[in-house]
Amino acid sequence: MSVLNAEQLTGRVRSHVLDSPEFGCILHPEAMAAFRGLRAAAAKSDIDLVAVSSFRSFEHQLTIWNDKFHGRRPLLDRDGSALDRAVLAEAELVRAILLWSALPGASRHHWGTEIDLIDRAALPSRQRPQLVPAEYAPGGVFERLGAWLPQHCEGYGFFLPYDRDRGGVRPEPWHLSFAPVSGPSLPALTADVLAAALAGADLAGAGVVRRQLHDIHARYVRAVSPPGATALAAVRL
């Protein structure tokens, strides 16, 4: 059983990930091997599985967070419409960021077990994927992928942690997690581990985050779908 340590779970080291120029992604070695198998299986259904996001460091997530807080990146409401950050109190601003972006240290993408997927074969040239649920629903550009992933990913050790709205992260039908590593690692990312990772960081809204850290941890770290037995027991490739 692989359990990531505190520095790996909070994205402050890269000792647990490999860079694959072939697949254009950075993943834990076991997740990379499983992704190779999943990609080959998808190809048989004429799906060209491409990772648009994989490992992300603490520093990268911190930049995203601070940019949103300071208005350097757009801020969206629950429906994906633009929000005017000028009218929001600091606590509301933090809540709005958390709808679509993880707190640095609390992103599962730090683990190297998480991957956001599109079907390049279905994407018209020049069209950019938005990563919104409508793309993966019937009638959407990735409709076939949206149906294929839940049916096939478990055999390769993957599951969908954000399968539905659980009061924290919005549903993400594009986000897969490699269960044999992420499943046993999740309990190790405690609120105390998260607090320690944030202690020395130049985090915008740090006062609000500190006061709400236990609630943020419960909603945005722990409130995910548990992996099924099939995914957890997937054969190591």
Which residues here bind Zn ion, judged by CB under 5 A? 116, 175
Give min distance, CB of 106 to Zn ion, in A.
13
Taking the complex as a whole, how short is the minimal distance between the CB of residue 26 and Zn ion, in angstroms? 13
- Nearest CB to Zn ion, comparing residues 38 and 208: 38
Rounded distance between C-alpha atoms, residue 114 and residue 116, angstroms: 7
**Residue number closest to Zn ion, CB atom:** 175
Q: Would you say 156 and 227 are in contact if contact means Cβ atoms under 8 Å apart?
A: no
What minimum distance in Å lies between the beta carbon of 163 and Zn ion? Answer: 13
Comparison of 7 and 116: residue with beta carbon closer to Zn ion: 116
- Taking residue 82's Cβ as centre, other Cβ atoms within 10 Å add up to 9
Question: Least distance from C-beta 113 to Zn ion, angstroms?
Answer: 11
Which is closer to Zn ion, CB of 66 or CB of 113?
113
Which pairs count as long-range contacts for 226-229, CB under 8 Å and 24+ apart, including other chains?
A: 226/183, 227/159, 227/161, 227/177, 227/179, 227/182, 227/183, 228/154, 228/159, 228/179
Q: Which is nearer to Zn ion, 208 or 220 (CB)?
A: 220
Torsion of CA 119, 121, 123, 125, to 10 degrees: 140
